[in-house]
Structure 1
Amino acid sequence: MRAVVVRRFGGPEVLEFAEVPVPEPGPGQVRIRVAAAAVNPVDLATRSGVLSAAGVIPAREVLGLGWDVAGEIDAVGLGRQATSENPRSRPGERAPFRAGDAVIGLRDRIATPLGAYAGYLLLDSSAVAPAPAGASPAEAATLPLNALTAAQALDLVETTGTVLVTGAAGAVGGYAVALAHARKLRVVAVASETDEPQVRALGADEFVPRGPSLGDRVRALVPGGVDAALDTALLGLDALDAVRGGGEFVAFAAGAAPLPLRGVRVRSVWIRADGERLAELARLAENGTLPLRVAGVLPLTEAAVAHERMAVGGLRGRLVLVP
């Protein structure tokens, strides 16, 4: 099969198309015939060497790219398998994943030689969930990494009051707004002024255009500051300034966590695959709670073009590669 790999760090030109054997699933694994793979900022950070320099990726001769996958199960490894209804259930409780099932999944091991930019992908069955009904593979592929990141970030905060979401029009931020709204939190969203209608449609109660003096402008709406902040835009201290003393703050990238000034509890979200949670998110996508946003679809052969477009910025949703 053909796969996109990285053997040296640099710009989009270092993306290499390699002919590699189709992998065989082992115990507890499924092989997915890839129908769509989303392009995420972590792919660009892997390719450029940023994550390697930060000590997130150990030395490897070959690195695969692509965390999000949508496709069809092609083969199931021998041994214990998770099930389509409950990815962590015991054998015999419900029907296991079978060849032909339409699924989505998340590859959360960043240093493997093959990722979702390929014809086939092996995943632990516990990292896989049924694809949302009615969604195209391209739409479904935008869900796993970004929605799981937003959900797991919200799990880190205890507030039942007001939450600030920066980057609210982005892929992660949009899901964070929708999920926080579904939890009946008061959501203060930060994004470009032109994104206000879209962000309010996702469930934002208050809107603050991005710009200087964020803390002052948020506090004009929420005297004393918000209870928690989900800083998907990596604003750091500017977002922390909007949080009340003793509140909560979640950072979304290595090295992006600010100092815990004024007793604010600062934590970082580290995404992990979770098929059971992903199945819940897929159901929320089915009922319209989580809009699936595709910024564009390109063939796998244009992976470098997708990376160039993402680096420019301004996308609303994710670019998706199809084999």
Structure 2
Amino acid sequence: MRALVIDSFGGPEVLRIAEVPRPEPGPGRVLIRVEAATVHPVDLATRSGVLAEAGLMAGHGRTGLGWDVAGVVESTGPEVTGLRPGDRVIGMNDRLDVELGTQAEYVALDAHAVAPAPATTDAVAAATLPLAGLTALQALDALALPAGRTLLVTGAAGAVGGYAVQLAAARGLRIVATARPGDEALVRRLGAQHFVPADAPRLGEAVRALVPGGVAAALDGAVLGPAALDAVRSGGAFAALVAGGAPYPLRGIRVLPVWVRADAAGLARLAALTDAGTLTPRVERTLPLAEAAEAHRALEKGGRRGRLVLVP
């Protein structure tokens, strides 16, 4: 089968399609025939060597790329219950040091990382849910804000930020969103009550003008760090989503590093919310696996308001 891999770190030119044996599902694992796999910034950071430099992965030998997957169960290993061949599923690989990721024709994942796909979307749209959706969901669960509280979401038009706004709105939270000026209409449609342009010179002051005293919490999708922390009231909470992006816990603010993890129950919640119309996956473009380098170059340019999805 074909799989996207790297043998060394560098630019998009180090990506290559390898012919490798199809994996077999061991105990507790599920073999998925991949229909779609989203490209995320973590793929760029893996390919470039940034994650290895940060000590988050060993970075030796062949490394497979891809976290998200939507596809069809091909077979299951012993001790797997609740999933059968032919089931349409979504899943997430949350390990960095793997020889094969989800950007391949087949991938084997632990059963606890796989859940039934939404019934109302195709595989391409469903593939955008796992990594971004679980990151937003787990961050909101960690913040644990009751309905009616105010939440700042930075990068609200992005992959994680967009899902965070919709999930927070469904919980009855009042949302202050930051994004590029041209994205105001989008983030308001997603559920934000207030909007602050991302280029505002003093984010804390701008937010506090809308919410006296500051918001109860922030979900920092744009990795603004101290600038976003300044918008949070004393004793509030702050969800940091990127390694190294957590600010100091000034003024008694709880700073919560969120390290996304695979979770079948969480994926099932995301699928149900998608079927209910609460979450709206956004796809900008699909590309064949062989054009992964083009997807990496496009993502590096920034400004994406829909996901780039590889179709094997």
Q: What is the TM-score normalised by the length of structure 1?
A: 0.94
* Match in the other structure for 1:144: 130
Query: Which of 105, 111, 124 is the matching residue for 1:119?
Result: 105
The equivalent residue for 1:89 is: none
Percent same amino acid at aligned positions?
Answer: 61
Q: Distance in 1 between matches of 2:266 and 2:164?
A: 15
Give the conservation status (yes or no) of the 8 Å contact 2:63–2:99.
yes
Shift of 1:58: 1.6
Q: Does 1:29 align with 2:15?
A: no
Offset of residue 3 of structure 1: 0.6
Q: Give the match for residue 2 of structure 1.
A: 2
From 177, 193, 207, the equivalent of 1:189 is 177
Alpha-carbon distance in structure 1 between the residues aligned to 2:156 and 2:177 = 6
Q: Distance in 2 between matches of 1:153 and 1:82?
A: 29
Alignment of 1:32-71 (within 5 A): 32-71=32-71
Q: Which residue of 1 aligns with 2:259?
A: 270
Partner of residue 19, structure 2: 19
Give per-residue Cα distances to partners, 1:136-167, cap 9 Å, x unaligned: 11101000100000000011113321110000
Q: Which residue of 1 aligns with 2:279?
A: 290
1:205 alignment partner, one of 167, 174, 193: 193
Matches within 5 A, 1:150-169: 150-160=136-146, 161-169=149-157
Alignment of structure 1 residues 63-82 onto 2, 5 Å:
63-78=63-78, 80-82=79-81
Amino acid at match of 1:229: A
The unaligned stretches of length 5 or more in structure 2 are none
Alignment match, 1:224 = 213
Deviations 1:26-64 (A, max 9, x none): 011110000000000000000000000000112321111
The 8 Å contact of residues 298 and 306 in structure 1, kept in 2 or not, is answered as yes
Q: Tell me if the contact between 1:68 and 1:107 (Cα under 8 Å) persists in the aligned partners.
A: yes
| Number of equivalences | 309
Rounded Cα–Cα distance in structure 1 between residues aligned with 2:46 and 2:278: 31
Distance 2:284 2:258 in 1: 25
CA distance in 2, matches of 1:237, 1:64: 34
Q: Does the 8 A contact of 1:32 with 1:71 survive in 2? A: yes
Secondary structure, counterpart of 1:146 in structure 2: helix
SS across alignment from 2:305: coil
Residue 134 of structure 1 and its aligned partner are, at CA, apart by: 2.1
Q: Which of 69, 81, 86 is residue 100 of structure 1 equivalent to?
A: 86
Q: State the alpha-carbon separation in 1 of the partners of residues 180 and 142 from structure 2.
A: 26
Structure 1 consecutive aligned stretches of length 4 or more whose deviation exceeds 2 Å: none
Give me the TM-score of the superposition, normalised by structure 2. Answer: 0.98
Q: Distance in 2 between matches of 1:69 and 1:52?
A: 23
